[in-house]
Amino acid sequence: MPGRDAFIELLRKNGLMVQIKRRKRYRTTDSNHNYRKYPNLIEGVIPHRPNEIWVADITYVETDEGVCYLSLITDAYSHKIVGWAVGPTLETIYPLEALHMALNTLQGEEAEHLIHHSDRGCQYCSMAYVSELKKRGVSISMTQSGDPLENAIAERANGILKMEWLYKMRIGTREECSSILERIIGFYNKERPHMSIGMQTPEVVHTQVGEQKRCWKNYYDMS
């Protein structure tokens, strides 16, 4: 009997290895633009209440009709997705739609004590997006490099949606994609416990204040 390595090599030479289909990657961030870029205001900051820091990001969802782009705004304290929108292009109107949804959840002067953090993509630096934040008195913060750890909570929220749901299903149409995402995000917010917030749900933590008990050692290993 051949050893494991010899057996794998035999399969490879005879074309019998299972070929893993790699997912196509879509670029969602274009920081090569002339809009103003803002400094990182949240480095080293740990939020102690909801609506203190929001993190924004764009990811993609594949359907049989073509790719969709999902804009998310996540509260850094509770990890609740407070705003989202999905569209067929990377136009700024969809991140703006997510922003409007999130802003509509605020009460009183909460916006004036809020930091909005994102990458330096053209959507978030655009005049339309920035003016909406400034109009509400929201402070603007952006990553300073392409390191995903600079926007770790947003990246992790994207990853959970993909790995736990979207990668496991086939979505037929873009219209179907929107209704599926509505259900998934509702479950993510209201039903799924997160280690990063003491095995509570984002919906519950969004009503709390004070430091959250985390169930991991590495701050960026969020789930």
The domain spanning residue 106 has which CATH number? 3.30.420.10
For 82-114, how does the pLDDT look when each residue is reduced to its tens digit (9 = 90+)? Answer: 999 999 999 999 999 999 999 999 999 999 999
For 19-58, how does the pLDDT look when each residue is reduced to its tens digit (9 = 90+)? Answer: 434 456 666 666 777 899 999 999 999 999 999 999 999 9
Write down the pLDDT at residue 211: 87
Write down the pLDDT at residue 151: 84
Q: Does position 1 have pLDDT exceeding 70, yes or no?
A: no
Q: Is residue 208 part of a domain?
A: no
What 3-state class would DSSP assign to 152? helix
For the chain, the domain total comes to 1
Write down the pLDDT at residue 220: 38
Q: Is residue 13 part of a domain?
A: no
For 157-216, how does the pLDDT look when each residue is reduced to its tens digit (9 = 90+)? Answer: 989 999 999 999 999 999 999 999 999 999 999 999 998 899 999 999 999 999 887 775
Q: Taking Cα atoms as reference points, which of 118, 123, 149 lies closest to residue 30?
A: 123
Q: Is residue 207 part of a domain?
A: no
Burial class (CB in 10 A: 0-12, 13-18, 19+), 112: exposed
Q: What is the mean pLDDT of the chain?
A: 87
Q: Is residue 90 part of a domain?
A: yes
Q: Does position 217 have pLDDT exceeding 60, yes or no?
A: no
Dist CA 156 CA 221 (whole Å): 8
Q: Is residue 156 part of a domain?
A: yes
Q: Is residue 52 part of a domain?
A: yes
Q: Is residue 198 part of a domain?
A: no
Q: Which range marks the domain in which residue 144 is found? A: 31-191
What 3-state class would DSSP assign to 191? coil
Q: Is residue 84 part of a domain?
A: yes
User: How crowded is residue 78: how many other Cβ atoms within 10 Å of its Cβ?
Assistant: 27
Dist CA 151 CA 11 (whole Å): 42
